[in-house]
Chains A and B, each alone.
Chain A
Amino acid sequence: MPEGFILQRLLTRMSVLYAVFVRLFAQILQFLLLKNHVKKDVNEMKTENNRTVLTGTHFMNGDIACAEGALAAGCKFFAGYPITPATEIAEHLSKRMPEVGGIYIQMEDEIGSIAAVIGASYTGLKAMTATSGPGFSLMQENIGLAVMTEAPCVIVDIMRGGPSTGQPTLPGQQDIMQAKWGSHGDYEIIALAPSSVQEMFDLTIEAFNLSETYRVPTMVLADEVVGHMWEKVVIPPAEKIRIVNRKKPNTSPEKYLPYMPDDDLVPPMACFGEGFSFHATGLTHDEHGYPKTSSSGVQQKLVKRLCEKIRKNADKIVKVREFMVDDAEVIVVAYGIVARAALSAVKEARKTGIKAGLLRPITIWPFPEKLIAKIAEQAKKIVVPEMNCGQLVREVERNVQGTSVVFLSKLGEDPHTPMEILEAIRRNC
Chain B
Amino acid sequence: MVAEISHPLSKYLREAMMPHIWCSGCGNGIILNCFVQAVDELQIDLKKLVVVSGIGCIGRAAGYINTDSFHTTHGRPIAFATGVKLANPDLEVVVISGDGDLFAIGGNHFIHAARRNIGIKVICANNFNYGMTGGQQGPTTLLEAFTTTTPYGNIEHPFNLVHLAAASGATYVARWTTLHVRRLTQSIKKMLQKEGFNFIEVVSPCPEIFGRRNRMRTGLQMMEWFKKASIIEHFSDPAKADITPERIVVGEFVDIEKPCYEKLLYDKMAQILT
Q: Which residues of A contact B (CB under 8 A)?
A: 26-27, 30, 34, 38-39, 41-42, 45, 76-77, 79, 98-99, 101, 103, 105, 107-109, 111-113, 115-125, 127, 141-142, 144-145, 149, 272-283, 288, 290-291
Contact = CB atoms under 8 A, between A and B. Distances in A.
A76 B48 CA distance: 21
A103 B84 CA distance: 11
Interface in B1-57: 14, 16-17, 46-48, 50, 52
B91 interface: yes
A97 to B, nearest CB: 8
B63 A291 contact: yes
A153 to B, nearest CB: 10
A115 B80 contact: yes
B23 to A, nearest CB: 17
Contact of A275 (B47, B75, B86, B270): B47
Among B14, B63, B86, B262, the one with the most A-chain Cβ atoms within 10 Å of its Cβ is B86
A105 B86 contact: yes
Contacts of B239: none
Contacts of A273: 47-48, 50, 68, 88, 90-91
Contacts of A142: 73, 76
A280 B48 contact: no
Nearest to B261: A105
Sorted nearest first, the 3 A-B pairs with minimum C-beta distance are A119-B83, A115-B79, A116-B83
14 contacts: A27-B274, A34-B270, A42-B89, A45-B266, A107-B112, A112-B109, A112-B112, A116-B83, A118-B80, A119-B82, A125-B87, A149-B70, A273-B68, A279-B62
Given A77-B83, A105-B82, A122-B70, A277 B47 contact: yes
Interface residues of B, number: 48
Nearest to B115: A108
Given A107-B82, A119-B70, 6 more contacts: A41-B270, A112-B108, A113-B79, A145-B73, A280-B71, A290-B14
B69 A123 contact: no
B84 A277 contact: no
B240 interface: no
B73 A141 contact: yes
A282 B84 contact: no
